[in-house]
């Protein structure tokens, strides 16, 4: 019962929040806050009272003899995702109170946020692939609407289009997979699909194709290579939205779907593809994050890279490593994003890293929170990020299939995260202020509305670190021994010292050296490649523009106009020509009439002639 | 009210409505009341249907030597179409509430149209079917030709001639059927015919494909839609195209099942081409209403694919998608027409930022557009998934390529949201006002409500849709 309430409440809440906000702007927040806390409370209740998986079957509709169900299935894996979604959702709504204070469309904002949370809940508690797809699309829609929240400006409006279409490109594969699996197995039940694939009752080729299609959808949603450019554009949305949707929850759904169908994936033998694509993405994300100039873009590339690490964990065959990293990442990335949001808000919407600096004194608490998040992201013990990163890297090294290129890229991506997050922190909080005007008007944020949610997340990051083994056992339902790399903390400390020194030199002590380095032609071109995300977006854009819009669409449009429509319109002159000729025979000129009479006579005679000959 | 009266009363009464209300503006009220009655009547017809699902409503005008009896009968399929038509007539009347040019003539023509279209869905005699089929053209011709936009005469003539030529093929097919079987009555033909010449099937197929419309017979539609006033576009998309699709199901598939088995691949190929071809055209189009028109063709392609399965599931999916298409495309046309009316522009490039001026109308446009691109919780999604599953079931995995259609739909819809609704306010939008009359707004709300309601609870109508085709499954016509 409470499961159904959990599914319905966010949507009802969205409507209520919208209506309340129309009545009085501030009410929208209070309704959303209440609903957010209620959702978290319900999830906690389910978590505490959990004994067996909640399993509810509902028939959605029947067409012909086919019946499509829409069930609810909540087990350990779903509960972890639910706790992340509703917990971070509630904190995010709390944070939004100050962040969105000046907005006039608050009702719209909170309604969409609740709609988003509803979509996420739908996704993770779906029993069938169909229900999962519905949640998947709802989130895509909410993401689109929230990225374009400031729709009156060009950049957010464009960013929404990118986000929708890039992810939709993946979604159509998921949609096709729904059809294919229903055809092949007659069921869409996720548990049953796992079971059928495991026992080999689905043919290998169908399992392979379906798994691949689902993974393409996951690539789109989780911002993996090559469908990631939308994630960077998505940073045009409010930072609270980036934190919740593009950092902590929605982008996880690609990993969730692979984890949910993990047995299916093992049977399909596509995990190596997952690991390969993800390791490439991890490398691209981590290297691109090194040079970004916007605070949120660094975090976006870092999100991409860390989601890849979770994918790599799954790809290496370790469900616990992948899901563990997902959980930890969700918390510390939300923390980082919201700290960045606090900085952006305090500095009156300055996102350019090179305009900030020296804010450590003014924003002491925010600096502390961001440091905790950053250390966790870098994988420094004893924070949560250390354990899961360790597990991912170790699982890659253990698996002979992923040992080699994949493990190398993974390690590089893991290590580079130390460098880019340190760079962000130094550029914001250390050194001297670069623009005095911005520095002057910077004010410390409110303790209750801003610092409170941040500190809850920071504490969570620390607490989670103590429960890594328990989390792994909880998710996989089996005794689990986390693989460890021996002496990893020592390597790490060495890396930190080295990278820290490098970043410190380049961005703090010897800025001139950095400038000189960037001026070198080789470094300049590398810098350009990294800054533009390896030009993937330009390449896709070029392809779509020149191949689809300029070639195919133009050709079809020409064909439609000059061949099909023209051949219809050609009937008019043909008819006119024909009838003009016939019309002439019926004019009242004697010569014409005589001519026609003669023609008729000849025709008659010719017919008689032919008839007599045959 | 007797059903034959229901057909002929509006045909005759339209003249009196025109004359009587010429000076006062009351025509719309009486027409609306009549359409409301039609809805009530069709729903009670549905309730009256016996278990066999076939209800004969009477025979009129019997002639001794020639099969010219006006036989009226309905089954579930036609009653569903009648209910859909009644709902759309009401909504179209509401959205024409502020017609200022000769309102009495406008509403009289709507009334006339309702009589003709009821005749099409009710008569089982092919000659009468044809007469009513042609009668629907008359009010449409005038509605486009008089109340249309700048190029209305060209569009009206093209529409009339194109569809009329197609009708000649249909008439020819009917005569061939008569020559073979000695009957004009659909049910009698079905019983009497053992084999039908392929020519009949082809003639009927082409004749109805023009109306649906399927590639390559679609070029009348963008012109007619663009020039027609917005409510008439909605009527064209919601009722007239459905008439073609209905006839396709009723005659090409259910009346001639053997030929249909043989030639279903044609329907499949043309459906597939329409889906992708029109999708790309919609993507390329910069003209707002043409974009919607091509989107409409693209979705009818999907309907054709579902029909080509010739299975119980496929036809149920096709009928659902037809209804969904009517409720989704109509408001898109209405809003596109409204925007044109306020801005006098069709070019999406000149628009932008309507959300800032008219948030609610923009939101309704987005809801309908999301329906068109197959967002879950709208009718579009249900139709698409049903068609996907039933066509994969029939044709195999390769037919999953129809998901490319959803990608195209998402592309042109989202891109048009960006150009029309989102973004910075263009000067054109800034100087136009977007005041909509409350009645017209109400009709848009009703459309959006239906899209979402039936998208969330499709079982509400799938119950009747399934029953409509179950009969044919039992008869062995469908698989």
Domain parsing of chain B, residue ranges? 3-475
Closest Cα in chain B, distance from residue A237 (Å):
14
pLDDT recorded at residue B36 = 92
At residue B450 the predicted structure's pLDDT band, cuts being 50, 70 and 90, is very high
The predicted structure's pLDDT at residue A583: 67
Q: Rounded to an integer, what distance in angstroms lies between the CA atom of residue A251 and that of residue B403? A: 23
The string of pLDDT tens digits covering residues A331-363 is: 999 999 999 999 988 888 888 888 887 888 888
- Looking at the fold, whether A316 and A463 belong to one and the same domain comes out as yes
Q: Are B424 and A153 a contacting pair at CB < 8 A?
A: yes
- Please tell me which of the candidates A63, A152, A164 has its beta carbon nearest to residue B386: A63
Buried residues in B269-285 as b, exposed as e (16+ CB within 10 A): ebbbebbbbbbbbbbbb
Q: Which of A63, A169, A176 sits opposite B320 (nearest CB)?
A: A63
Judgement on whether residues A70 and A126 belong to the same structural domain of the protein? yes
Q: Which residues of A touch B353 (CB under 8 A)?
A: 152
pLDDT computed for residue A384 by the predictor? 86
Is there a domain that residue A261 lies in? no
User: According to the model, what pLDDT value does residue B302 have?
Assistant: 94
In the A/B pair of chains, how many CB contacts fall below 8 A? 150
Q: Do A68 and B385 touch (CB under 8 A)?
A: yes
CA nearest to B330, candidates B117, B129, B165, B95: B95
Q: Percent of chain A at pLDDT above 70?
A: 95
pLDDT of residue A431: 77
Contact call for B392 and A152, based on CB within 8 A: no
* Chain B hits for A553, Cβ within 8 Å: 280-281, 283-284
Q: Is pLDDT at A17 greater than 90 in this prediction? A: yes
Residues A368-424 pLDDT 10s: 999 999 989 988 877 888 888 888 888 888 888 888 888 889 888 888 888 888 888
pTM, 2 dp: 0.92
Q: What is the pLDDT of residue A585?
A: 64
Given a cut of 70, whether residue B313 has pLDDT beyond it is: yes
Looking at residue A64, its pLDDT comes to 86
Contact A553 B281 (CB under 8 A): yes
Residues A146, A245, single domain; the answer is yes
Quick one: pLDDT band at residue A586, thresholds 50, 70, 90? low
Whether residues A64 and B388 touch (CB distance < 8 A) is answered with no
Instruction: Say if residue A311 is in the same domain as residue A419.
Output: yes
pLDDT at B67 over 80: no
- Whether A569 is in a domain gets the answer no
Residues A192 and A295 in one domain: no
β-bridge mates for residue A66, sequence order: A63
Question: Domain check: are A59 and A128 in the same one?
Answer: yes
Would residue A176 count as lying in a domain? Answer: yes
The residue behind tokens 């960006």 is B418
SS3 A479: coil
**Residue of B283, B404, B415 lying closest to A172 (CB–CB):** B404
Q: Of A204, A227, A253, at which residue does a domain stop?
A: A253
DSSP string, B168-230: HHHHHHHHHHHHHHS--BHHHHHHH-S---HHHHHHHHHHHHHHTT-TTS-THHHHHHHHS-H
What was the pLDDT predicted at A252?
A: 92
Angstrom distance (rounded) from CA A181 to CA A588? 76
Residue A491 lies in a domain: yes
- CB environment B239-266: b (16+ within 10 A), e (fewer): bbbbbbbbbbbbbbbbbbbebbeebbeb
Mutate to test the interface with B, among A144, A179, A569, A572 (most CBs of B within 10 A): A179
Residue A71 lies in a domain: yes
Q: Give the contacts of A545 (CB within 8 A, at least 6 positions apart).
A: none
State residue A276's pLDDT score: 92
Residues of A in contact with B381 (CB under 8 A): 134, 137
Chain A contacts of B316, Cβ < 8 Å? 63-64
Question: B317 to chain A: which residues are within 8 Å by CB?
Answer: 63-64
A92 and A231, same domain (yes or no): yes
pLDDT, averaged across chain A = 87
Q: Which residues form the domain of A281?
A: 270-511
Domain presence at residue A524: no
Distance from CA of A53 to the nearest CA of B (A): 26
- CA dihedral over A573, A577, A579, A584, signed as positive or negative: positive
With a CB cutoff of 8 Å and minimum separation 6, the contacts of B1 are B9, B37, B41
Nearest to residue B321, comparing CAs of B391, B265, B235? B391
Query: Is B466 within 8 Å of A64 when comparing Cβ atoms?
Result: yes
Residues A476 and A355 in one domain: yes
On whether residue A557 sits in a domain, the answer given is no
Segment B317-332 shows an average pLDDT of 94
On whether both A127 and A244 belong to a single domain, the answer is: yes
- B388 and A137 within 8 Å at the Cβ level: the answer is no
pLDDT in tens, B91-127: 999 998 888 888 888 888 999 999 999 999 998 888 8
Is residue A280 domain-shared with residue A369, that is, in the same domain? yes
**A227 shares its domain with A296:** no
Structure confidence at residue A288 (pLDDT): 92
* Yes or no, beta carbons of A565 and B421 under 8 Å apart: no
The answer to the question of residue A528 being in a domain is no
**Which pLDDT belongs to residue B345?**
87
Which is higher by pLDDT, B288 or A510? B288
- Read off the pLDDT of each residue in A431-437 and give the average, rounded to a whole number: 79
Nearest Cβ partner for A61 among B281, B415, B459: B459
Tell me the pLDDT band of A479, cut-offs 50, 70 and 90: low
Residues A192 and A320 in one domain: no
Most B CBs within 10 A among A64, A105, A132, A168, hence the mutation to make, goes to: A64
User: Which of A22, A63, A206 is best to mutate for the B interface (most B CBs within 10 A)?
Assistant: A63
* Domain end point (choices A253, A287, A309): A253
- Name the percent of chain B lying above pLDDT 90: 47
Helix orientation angle between A253-260 and A76-99, rounded to the nearest 10 degrees: 170
Q: Which of B281, B389, B411 sits opposite A66 (nearest CB)?
A: B389
Domain C-terminal end among A511, A527, A542: A511
- Nearest CB to A554 within list B284, B411, B458: B284
């Amino acid at each position: 019962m409470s499961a159904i309430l959990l599914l319905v409440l966010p949507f009802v809440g969205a409507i209520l929040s919208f209506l309340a906000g129309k009545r009085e702007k501030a009410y929208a927040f209070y309704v959303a806050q209440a609903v957010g806390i209620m959702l978290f409370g319900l999830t906690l209740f389910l978590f505490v009272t959990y004994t067996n998986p909640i399993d509810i079957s509902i028939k959605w509709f029947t067409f012909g003899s086919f019946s499509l169900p829409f069930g609810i299935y909540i087990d350990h894996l779903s509960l972890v995702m639910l706790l992340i979604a509703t917990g971070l959702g509630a904190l995010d709504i709390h944070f939004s109170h100050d962040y969105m204070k000046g907005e006039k469309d608050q009702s719209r904002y909170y309604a969409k946020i609740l709609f988003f949370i509803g979509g996420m809940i739908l996704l993770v508690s779906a029993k069938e692939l169909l229900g999962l797809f519905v949640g998947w699309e709802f989130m895509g829609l909410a993401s689109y609407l929230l990225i374009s929240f400031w729709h009156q400006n060009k950049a957010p409006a464009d960013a929404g289009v990118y986000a929708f279409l890039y992810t939709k490109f993946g979604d159509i594969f998921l949609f096709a997979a729904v059809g294919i699996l229903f055809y092949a197995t007659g069921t869409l039940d996720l548990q049953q699909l796992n079971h059928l694939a495991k026992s080999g009752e689905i043919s290998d080729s169908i399992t392979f194709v379906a798994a691949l299609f689902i993974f393409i959808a996951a690539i789109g949603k989780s911002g993996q290579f090559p469908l990631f450019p939308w994630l960077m554009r998505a940073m045009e949305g409010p930072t609270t939205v980036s934190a919740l949707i593009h950092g902590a929850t929605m982008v996880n759904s690609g990993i969730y779907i692979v984890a949910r169908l993990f047995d299916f994936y093992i049977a399909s033998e596509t995990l190596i593809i997952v690991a390969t694509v993800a390791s490439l993405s991890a490398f691209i994300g981590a290297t691109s994050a090194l040079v970004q100039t916007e605070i949120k873009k660094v975090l976006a590339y870092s999100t991409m890279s860390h989601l890849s690490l979770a994918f790599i964990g799954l790809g290496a065959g370790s469900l616990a490593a992948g899901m563990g990293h997902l959980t930890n990442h969700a918390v510390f990335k939300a923390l980082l994003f919201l700290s960045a949001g606090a900085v952006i808000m305090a500095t009156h919407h300055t996102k350019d890293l090179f305009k900030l600096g020296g804010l450590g004194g003014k924003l002491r608490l925010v600096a502390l929170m961001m440091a905790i998040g950053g250390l966790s992201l870098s994988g420094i013990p004893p924070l949560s990020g250390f354990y899961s990163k360790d597990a991912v890297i170790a699982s890659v090294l253990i698996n002979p299939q992923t040992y080699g290129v994949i493990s190398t890229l993974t390690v590089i991506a893991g290590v580079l995260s130390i460098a880019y997050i340190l760079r962000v922190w130094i550029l914001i909080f250390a050194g001297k202020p670069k623009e005095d005007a911005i520095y002057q008007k910077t004010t410390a944020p409110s303790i209750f509305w801003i610092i409170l949610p941040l500190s809850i997340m920071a504490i969570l990051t620390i607490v989670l670190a103590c429960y890594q083994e328990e989390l792994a056992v909880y998710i996989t339902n089996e005794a689990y021994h986390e693989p460890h790399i021996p002496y990893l903390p020592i390597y790490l400390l060495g890396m930190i010292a080295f990278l820290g020194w490098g970043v410190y030199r380049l961005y703090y002590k010897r800025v001139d050296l950095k400038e000189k380095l960037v001026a070198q032609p080789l470094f300049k071109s590398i810098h350009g490649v990294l800054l533009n995300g390896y030009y993937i977006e330009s390449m896709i854009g070029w392809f779509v523009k020149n191949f689809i819009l300029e070639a195919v669409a133009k050709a079809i449009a020409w064909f439609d106009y000059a061949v099909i429509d023209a051949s219809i319109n050609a009937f008019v002159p043909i008819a006119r020509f024909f009838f003009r000729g016939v019309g002439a025979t019926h004019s009242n000129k004697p010569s014409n009439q005589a001519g026609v009479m003669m023609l008729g006579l000849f025709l008659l005679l010719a017919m008689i002639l032919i008839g007599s000959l045959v | 009210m007797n059903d034959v009266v229901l057909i002929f009363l509006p045909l005759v009464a339209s003249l009196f409505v025109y004359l009587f209300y010429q000076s006062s503006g009351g025509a719309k009220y009486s027409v609306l009341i009549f359409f409301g009655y039609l809805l009530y009547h069709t729903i009670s017809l549905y309730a009256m249907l016996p278990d066999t699902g076939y209800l004969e409503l009477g025979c009129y005008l019997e002639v001794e030597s020639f099969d010219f009896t006006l036989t009226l009968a309905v089954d579930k399929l036609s009653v569903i179409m009648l209910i859909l038509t009644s709902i759309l007539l009401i909504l179209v009347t509401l959205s024409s509430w502020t017609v200022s040019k000769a309102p009495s003539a406008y509403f009289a023509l709507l009334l006339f149209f309702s009589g003709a279209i009821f005749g099409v869905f009710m008569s089982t005699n092919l000659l009468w079917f044809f007469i009513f089929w042609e009668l629907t053209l008359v009010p449409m011709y005038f509605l486009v030709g008089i109340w249309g936009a700048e190029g209305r005469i060209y569009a009206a003539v093209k529409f009339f001639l194109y569809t009329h030529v197609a009708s000649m093929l249909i008439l020819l097919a009917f005569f061939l059927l008569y020559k073979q079987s000695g009957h004009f009555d659909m049910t009698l033909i079905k019983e009497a015919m053992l084999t039908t010449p392929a020519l009949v099937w082809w003639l009927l197929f082409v004749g109805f494909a023009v109306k649906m419309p399927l590639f390559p017979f679609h070029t009348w539609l963008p012109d007619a839609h663009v020039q027609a006033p917005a409510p008439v576009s909605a009527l064209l998309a919601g009722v007239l195209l459905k008439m073609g699709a209905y006839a396709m199901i009723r005659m090409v598939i259910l009346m001639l099942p053997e030929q249909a088995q043989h030639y279903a691949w044609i329907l499949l190929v043309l459906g597939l081409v329409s889906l992708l071809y029109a999708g790309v055209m919609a993507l390329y189009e910069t003209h707002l209403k043409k974009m919607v028109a091509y989107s409409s063709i693209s979705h009818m392609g999907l309907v054709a694919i579902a029909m080509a399965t010739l299975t119980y599931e496929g036809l149920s999916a096709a009928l659902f998608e037809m209804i969904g298409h009517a409720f989704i495309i109509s408001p898109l046309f209405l809003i596109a027409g409204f925007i044109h009316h306020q801005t006098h522009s069709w070019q999406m490039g000149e628009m932008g930022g309507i959300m800032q001026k008219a948030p609610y109308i923009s939101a309704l446009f987005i809801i309908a557009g999301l329906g068109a691109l197959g967002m879950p919780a709208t009718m579009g999604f249900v139709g698409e998934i049903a068609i996907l599953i039933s066509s994969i079931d029939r044709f195999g995995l390769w037919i999953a390529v129809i998901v490319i259609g959803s990608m195209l739909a998402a592309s042109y819809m989202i891109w048009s949201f960006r150009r029309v609704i989102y973004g910075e306010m263009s000067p054109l939008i800034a100087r136009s006002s977007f005041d909509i009359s409350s009645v017209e707004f109400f009709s848009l709300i009703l459309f959006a409500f239906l899209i979402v309601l039936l998208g969330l609870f499709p079982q509400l109508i799938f119950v009747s849709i399934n029953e409509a085709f179950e009969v044919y499954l039992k008869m062995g016509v469908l698989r």
